A = this chain, B = another copy of it.
Amino acid sequence: MRLIALYRQPPDPQAFDKAYFGTHLPLMGKVPGLQASVVSKFTRTVMGEGFYMMADMAFPDEGTLKQAMRSPEMAAAGDNLATVAEGLVTLMFAEDPVPAG
């Protein structure tokens, strides 16, 4: 099970990157059960409303992810996110990916 964060274009990408990689990711790294975080930047929007960046955070199963969402470490990361990316974030649970051809 994964936690996916999609970030819309920040007004100041340089300040966003500094806060995200310097402060937010280290806080997320303390969240219990998190196995790996993978961050991808979007470089071009071909169709529809685009985003700036995606973070794909893997947990071993849904129960662990749900516990993580209630942890004090996630609360701290969430509080930080409100200062780093207020109004920019979509946060979703995602099933483990299915290779599809």
Q: Does A42 lie within 8 Å of B93, measured CB to CB?
A: yes
The number of chain A residues with a CB under 8 A from chain B is: 42
Q: How far is the CB of A80 from chain B (nearest CB, A)?
A: 14
Render A44-58 as a binary contact track against B, CB cut-off 8 A, 1 for contact. Answer: 111111110011100
**Distance of A56 Cα from B56 Cα, bound (Å):** 12
Q: Which residues of B contact A101 (CB under 8 A)?
A: 25-26, 28-29, 36-37
Binary contact track A34-72/B, C-beta < 8 Å → 1, others 0: 001111111111111111001110000000000001000
A90 and B45 contact, CB distance less than 8 A: yes
Q: Measured between C-beta atoms, what is the minimum distance from A31 to chain B in Å?
A: 11
Residues of B within 8 A of A50 (CB): 90, 92
Q: For A42, list chain B residues within 8 Å (CB).
A: 4, 92-95
Interface residue? A79 (CB, 8 A): no
**Does A89 count as interface, using CB distance less than 8 angstroms?**
yes
